[in-house]
C-alpha cells in the first residue's frame, strides 16, 4: 500500500473548505470503496428533493424546530 499517496490525498481533502465539494468527493470515494450509501438507494427524483432540502437548510430557509413542533401539534388537533 502506498502510504505516501494516501497522505497526499488526506492533505488535499483536509485543505478543502467547500461543503459541496466535500460531499461530491465523499460520494466518489464511497463508490470506489464499495461502501453502500443511502444515496445509492434513492432514485433521481428523491436525490433531487434531498439536495433541494439540504440547500434550503443551508440557505436558512428551514423553520425552527420549536415552530415545527408547534405546527405539528396544531395539525394533530385538526
* pLDDT at residue number 61: 80
Cα separation values, 34 from 10, 27, 61, Å: 19, 11, 34
Instruction: Based on the fold, state whether residues 33 and 53 are members of the same structural domain.
Output: no
Q: What is the pLDDT of residue 36?
A: 66
Report which of 27, 28, 25 is spatially closest to residue 16, judged by C-alpha positions.
Answer: 25
- 6 and 22 co-located in one domain: yes
| Per-block mean pLDDT, blocks of 10 residues, the chain (78 long) | 88 91 87 73 90 86 83 79
- Residues 25, 47, single domain; the answer is no
Regarding whether 75 and 59 lie in a shared domain, the answer is: yes
> What pTM was estimated for this model as a whole?
0.40
Predicted pLDDT at 78: 65
pLDDT at 35: 63
Q: What is the C-alpha separation between 18 and 33, in angstroms, rounded?
A: 22
Provide the residue range defining the domain that includes 2. Answer: 1-37
Amino acid at each position: 500500500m502506498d502510504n505516501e499517496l494516501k497522505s497526499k490525498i488526506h492533505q488535499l481533502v483536509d485543505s478543502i473548505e467547500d461543503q459541496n465539494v466535500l460531499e461530491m468527493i465523499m460520494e466518489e470515494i464511497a463508490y470506489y470503496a464499495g461502501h453502500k450509501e443511502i444515496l445509492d438507494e434513492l432514485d433521481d427524483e428523491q436525490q433531487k428533493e434531498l439536495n433541494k432540502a439540504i440547500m434550503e437548510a443551508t440557505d436558512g430557509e428551514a423553520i425552527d424546530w420549536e415552530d415545527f413542533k408547534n405546527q405539528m401539534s396544531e395539525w394533530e388537533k385538526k
